[in-house]
């Protein structure tokens, strides 16, 4: 017969009051746990997207870097200004008319540069026009994209009307291999449907837990051939067309102009000068770093590539018509500047809710104290000290809080599990009832401290109980 058992019996003696008290605590804790767990999920989502497999995102000068990252990585919002396709070609090793390899300065240390074009959606999911090589990037450290079904779209003309869809898109839209779809213009479902341009699903990605699960990927050349997607004047307002063209060593634009008449003979051909891209994903490394790999090892070479990327980042941002964003830094910055403070505010509010629930525990126990004077007096008459009866009440407060807390813990995870489809939609991270974040364990000592504090007042009441009057209360 220890103090915990005595306290437990007291709780059992008042089932309704105890249940309501536990319930209020459970609701408070459920809120805290769901906020902590959801934050952990969002944080994981952000961290997962930090490992994008590329160093820089290059886009138009107008608009912010944040918009560039959000639209490119998270498929949220839109980038204000594209860059000419010609500019993208500065990141490519090409061949000139004579078949000689041409390596622009900017492309010297580039391992992979992939353009993307945004502007369409399908049933609300972002359509990303790009090249098949986008799936050569690792979406997480040492984790390559996998195809759950089918394969990547072809890199030649046969692939122009092909598409790869993310796992979540396939699940939500029911698109299967062989199905065709027509993108809708804009980011909303109420835009004009490009009915003439049907894309055939040839691959379905395995789930990645990234926003790419919620995207459809089509060939960029197919995108350019959708009415209105190629532009007569590809060079943006802020750009200096001459400077772009002059920086292209092989001057493909000039070549395009030369061949423009011939292009018209083929209805599918669009000169590069008329193309624009929303952003360019650039990874540094590759052949230029091979000597360093041999001399210093892979890790050292990677560090050098990172340093080079940082240097290129500054150079690009000094240019007049393009800007570069470092997604890793941007995502961290985004997390620290926006997500974390918002979560802290939310956490503060939920902690306040728990404190209010704790006050509910105090009021619940305190209201029973008048009726318990006799019970306490009997214990005192049997030899229990004032400190002992005080401890019994504190034990009771702790038990009520922990029981309510445990229920809230389960409830909180239940809420998160119930919200799982929504979380998957917005973060790409799959969560279940067992999703757990160690930070939610702070609730346990937190509740004990809270229960001890809120239990103090009724415990003090028990401490001060007059034994003689208490015994007489039942006489």
Cα–Cα distance for residue pair 366/371, rounded to 1 Å: 10
Nearer to other proteins, 381 or 418 (CB): 381
Nearer to other proteins by Cβ, of 9 and 176: the residue is 9
Strand, helix or coil at 327?
helix
Which stretch, 8-16, 152-160, 209-217, 337-345, contacts other proteins (CB under 8 A)?
A: 8-16
Shortest distance, position 436 Cβ to other proteins, whole Å? 36
Question: Does residue 215 contact residue 126 with C-beta atoms inside 8 Å?
Answer: yes
**Window of 6-14, 82-90, 268-276, 299-307 that interacts with other proteins by CB under 8 A:** 6-14
- Structure tokens, 126: 């972002």
The 327-366 contact track toward other proteins, x by CB under 8 A, reads: ----------------------------------------
φ, ψ (nearest 5 deg) of residue 122: -135, 115
| CB of 401 vs other proteins, minimal distance in Å | 20
- Burial grade of 205 (CB within 10 A; 0-12, 13-18, 19 or more): buried
Between 12 and 265, whose beta carbon lies closer to other proteins? 12
User: Binding of other proteins at residue 9 (CB under 8 A)?
Assistant: yes
2 touches other proteins by CB under 8 A = yes
Tell me how long the chain is.
Answer: 475
Neighbours of 193 (CB within 10 A): 14
CB of 366 to other proteins, least distance (A): 19
H or E element at residue 440: none
Which one, 440 or 465, has the nearer CB to other proteins?
465
Nearer to other proteins, 126 or 380 (CB): 380
User: For other proteins, which is the closer residue by CB, 372 or 413?
Assistant: 372
Cite the DSSP H helix spans in 269-385.
290-296, 298-318, 327-334, 340-369, 373-381
**What tokens does 370 get?**
């008048």
Match 């340093």 to its residue by tokens. 307
Please state at what angle helix 15-50 crosses helix 340-369, rounded to 10 degrees.
170
* Residue number with CB closer to other proteins (123 or 474): 474
Which of residues 351 and 467 has its CB atom nearest to other proteins in the complex? Answer: 467
254 part of the interface to other proteins, by CB under 8 A: no
Stretch that binds other proteins, among 9-17, 224-232, 325-333, 350-358 (CB under 8 A): 9-17
- The answer to whether the Cα torsion of 67, 69, 71, 76 is positive or negative is negative
Tell me whether residue 233 or residue 466 sits nearer to other proteins (CB atom).
466
Residue 19 Cβ vs other proteins, minimum distance, rounded to whole Å: 15
Dist CA 105 CA 118 (whole Å)? 27
- Give min distance, CB of 22 to other proteins, in A: 17
The two tokens of residue 55 are 């160093």
Size of the site for other proteins (CB under 8 A): 26
For residues 396 to 435, the per-residue mask of contacts with other proteins, x marking binding by CB under 8 A and - elsewhere, is: ----------------------------------------
Residue 86: C-alpha distances to residues 199, 252, 281, 338, 358 (Å): 26, 8, 15, 35, 64
- If DSSP codes are grouped into helix, strand and coil, which group holds residue 269? coil
Q: Report, in Å, the least distance between residue 469 CB and other proteins.
A: 11
Q: Report d(CA 333, CA 282) in Å as an integer.
A: 20
Q: Which H or E run includes 262?
A: helix 252-265
Q: Which residues, in sequence order, are CB contacts of 243 under 8 Å at separation 6+?
A: 320, 321
The CA-atom distances, in angstroms, between 469 and each of 323, 380, 466 are 81, 12, 5
Q: Which of 13, 303, 311, 367 binds other proteins (CB under 8 A)?
A: 13
Q: Footprint of other proteins on residues 453-472 (CB under 8 A)?
A: 467-468, 471
Q: Provide the minimum distance between the beta carbon of 387 and other proteins in the complex, in angstroms, as a whole number.
A: 7
Distance in angstroms (rounded) separating the CA atoms of residues 24 and 357: 5
Q: CB of residue 3 vs other proteins: minimum separation in angstroms?
A: 8
Is residue 17 part of the contact set for other proteins (CB under 8 A)?
no
Q: Which positions from 171 to 190 touch other proteins by CB under 8 A, shown as an x/- string? A: --------------------
Footprint on residues 361-400 left by other proteins (CB under 8 A):
374-375, 378-388
Distance separating alpha carbons of residues 275 and 282, to the nearest angstrom: 19
- The two tokens of residue 455 are 């239990």
Residues in contact with other proteins by CB under 8 A are 1-2, 5-6, 9-10, 12-13, 374-375, 378-388, 467-468, 471, 474-475
């Amino acid at each position: 017969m220890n103090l915990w058992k005595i306290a437990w019996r007291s709780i059992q003696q008042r089932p309704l009051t105890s249940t309501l008290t536990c319930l209020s605590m459970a609701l408070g804790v459920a809120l805290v746990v769901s906020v902590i767990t959801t934050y952990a999920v969002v944080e994981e989502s952000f961290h997962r997207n930090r490992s994008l497999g590329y160093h820089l995102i290059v886009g138009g000068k107008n608009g912010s870097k944040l918009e560039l990252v959000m639209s490119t990585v998270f498929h949220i919002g839109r980038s204000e200004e594209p860059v000419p396709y010609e500019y993208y070609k500065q990141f490519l090793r090409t061949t000139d008319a004579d078949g000689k390899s041409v390596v622009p300065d900017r492309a010297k240390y580039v391992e992979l540069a992939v353009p993307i074009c945004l502007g369409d959606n399908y049933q609300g999911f972002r359509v990303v026009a790009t090249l098949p090589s986008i799936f050569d990037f690792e979406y997480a450290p040492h984790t390559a994209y996998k195809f759950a079904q089918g394969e990547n779209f072809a890199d030649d003309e046969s692939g122009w009307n092909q598409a790869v869809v993310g796992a979540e898109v396939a699940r939500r839209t029911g698109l299967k291999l062989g199905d065709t779809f027509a993108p809708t213009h804009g980011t909303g479902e109420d835009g004009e449907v490009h009915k003439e341009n049907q894309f055939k699903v040839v691959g379905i990605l395995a789930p990645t837990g990234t926003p790419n699960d919620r995207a459809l990927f089509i060939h960029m050349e197919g995108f350019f051939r959708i009415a209105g997607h190629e532009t007569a004047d590809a060079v943006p307002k802020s750009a200096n067309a001459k400077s772009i063209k002059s920086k292209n060593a092989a001057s493909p634009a000039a070549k395009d102009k030369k061949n423009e008449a011939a292009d018209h003979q083929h209805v599918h051909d669009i000169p590069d000068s008329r193309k624009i891209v929303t952003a360019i994903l650039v990874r540094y490394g590759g052949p230029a770093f091979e000597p360093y790999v041999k001399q210093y090892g892979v890790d050292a070479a990677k560090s050098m590539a990172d340093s080079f990327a940082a240097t290129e980042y500054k150079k690009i941002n000094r240019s007049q018509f393009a800007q570069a964003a470092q997604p890793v830094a941007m995502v961290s910055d985004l997390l620290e500047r926006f997500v974390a403070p918002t979560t802290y505010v939310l956490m503060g509010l939920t902690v306040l809710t728990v404190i209010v629930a704790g006050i509910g525990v105090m009021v619940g126990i305190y209201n029973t104290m008048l009726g318990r004077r006799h019970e306490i007096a009997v214990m005192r008459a049997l030899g229990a000290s004032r400190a002992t009866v005080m401890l019994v009440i504190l034990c009771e407060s702790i038990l009520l809080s922990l029981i309510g807390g445990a229920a809230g813990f389960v409830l909180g995870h239940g809420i998160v599990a119930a919200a799982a489809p929504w979380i998957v939609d917005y973060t790409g991270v799959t969560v279940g009832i067992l999703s757990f974040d160690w930070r939610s364990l702070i609730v346990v000592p937190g509740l004990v401290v809270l229960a001890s504090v809120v239990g103090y007042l009724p415990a003090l009441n028990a401490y001060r109980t007059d034994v003689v009057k208490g015994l007489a209360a039942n006489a």
